[in-house]
Structure formats: structure tokens, C-alpha cells
Chain A
Amino acid sequence: SQTIHQWPATLVQPVGSPLSLECTVEGTSNPNLYWYRQAAGRGLQLLFYSVGIGQISSEVPQNLSASRPQDRQFILSSKKLLLSDSGFYLCAWSKGLAGYNEQFFGPGTRLTVL
């Protein structure tokens, strides 16, 4: 069966510090990968998605970036965190390029920027 992992689970970082969040998927190959952010009291905001190694699409211009160095690894990074980067970050995967494919979500990372 497929599983998706995210780490760390929680993170407290000072403003201006770098960020690296990691997501890995097991039990499937060539998944579509996604990074979402949930701010308090808001819905899901799609940040990045990827259909293959090295292929990253950005939905929202910001100080975050994403990379996919391996087929089942997706990394979210920042060189300098802002207060507004605080939130709950979710990684997800899906198969295929059709609208009927469901997404499978990881457990999330709670990021607090102080």
C-alpha cells in the first residue's frame, strides 16, 4: 500500500531563517506531488505541484521554492522565512493526469515563524 511521510511534524523558526520541509511517498511510482498551505481559519492554498523529477510549477509567487530531486521526494524550501509563512503545510500525491484522481495527503507540518 502507498504511504506518504512528512517531516518534521512541527517546527518553530525565527524570521529570516531558512526552511526545508520534506515529503516522501512510498508504494507508488511517478506520482504527481503537491504542496499546500493552510493558514489559520482558511482553506487550502496550492503552492507548488510537480508531475516529474525536476518539474515544478508554482501557483503563488512568494519567497518559497520547491524541488523534486527524486521521483518520490518533494522538498519545500525558503532562504529567509517571513512571519506570514506560518501555517500548516500539507504534502499530497495523486496518480495520472485526470480530474477524477483523488489526492492522498500527508500528516502535515505545523510551522510557526516568530
Chain B
Amino acid sequence: AQSVTQPDIHITVSEGASLELRCNYSYGATPYLFWYVQSPGQGLQLLLKYFSGDTLVQGIKGFEAEFKRSQSSFNLRKPSVHWSDAAEYFCAVGEGGGGSYIPTFGRGTSLIVHP
């Protein structure tokens, strides 16, 4: 079975600074990878996803993520953080090859943005 680790529970950055949120997965085959964002008191929204091809994926709200097979990672990045980016971020992995269609979510990273 697959697993997802988000090693940082909280990340604090200043507005305008760059951001990188870490995600490591464990899965034997090529995974399907997702990043979701959850604003306080709301549901989750998909930021971006990786299936195959170009390992650098562009998403909404200026976010991007890079799939690195050798490191089993799918880190989320943004060059300049805005105060509205303060939220909970979840990495998720789905199985390929006819495995389970239900994704496994990481425990989330809470992003705090200082003015």
C-alpha cells in the first residue's frame, strides 16, 4: 500500500518570500500525485496533479510542484507567497496499475504567512 509523508506540520514564511512544502511518498510503481489546499473552515481544492510526462507541473494560484522519482518526492513551490496563501496543504498519492482508486493523503502542512 502507498503512504505519504509531509514532514513539516507548520511552516512560517514572510509575505513575498519563496515557499517549498515537502512531500515524500512510498509506492512501488509510478504514482499519481496531487496537492490540495484547504482554507480555514472550508473543503479541499485541487492545486495541481502529476500523472506522467513533464516532471514539473504547474497549478493554480501560481503554484508548481516537481516530481523526483529518485527521491520519492513531490514538493510544492511558490516563488512569492501572498497573505491569502495561508492555509492547510495536503499531498496525496493515488495508485496506478489497477490498484486502489482511493488516494492516500498526508497529514497536511499548515502554512502561516507573516506580513
Contact = CB atoms under 8 A, between A and B. Distances in A.
B107 A99 contact: no
A99 B43 contact: no
Interface of B is mostly: loop
B107 A100 contact: no
Interface residues of B, number: 25
A36 to B, nearest CB: 8
Interface in A26-44: 32, 34, 42-44
Interface in B1-46: 31-32, 34, 36, 41-46
B99 interface: yes
Contacts of A110: 41
Nearest to B94: A99
A43 B51 contact: no
A62 interface: no
B102 A98 contact: no
Contacts of B101: 32, 94, 96-99, 101
A106 B38 CA distance: 11
A108 B41 contact: yes
Contact of B90 (A44, A99, A104): A44
A103 interface: yes
B105 interface: yes
Nearest to B42: A107
Among B34, B43, B95, B107, chain A packs the most CB atoms within 10 A around the CB of B43
Interface in A54-101: 88, 90, 92, 94, 96-101
Interface of B: 31-32, 34, 36, 41-46, 49, 51, 90, 94-96, 99-103, 105-108
Given A96-B101, A102-B46, 10 more contacts: A4-B43, A46-B102, A98-B94, A99-B96, A99-B99, A101-B94, A101-B101, A102-B49, A106-B43, A108-B41
| Nearest 3 CB-CB pairings of A with B | A99-B94, A105-B43, A43-B107
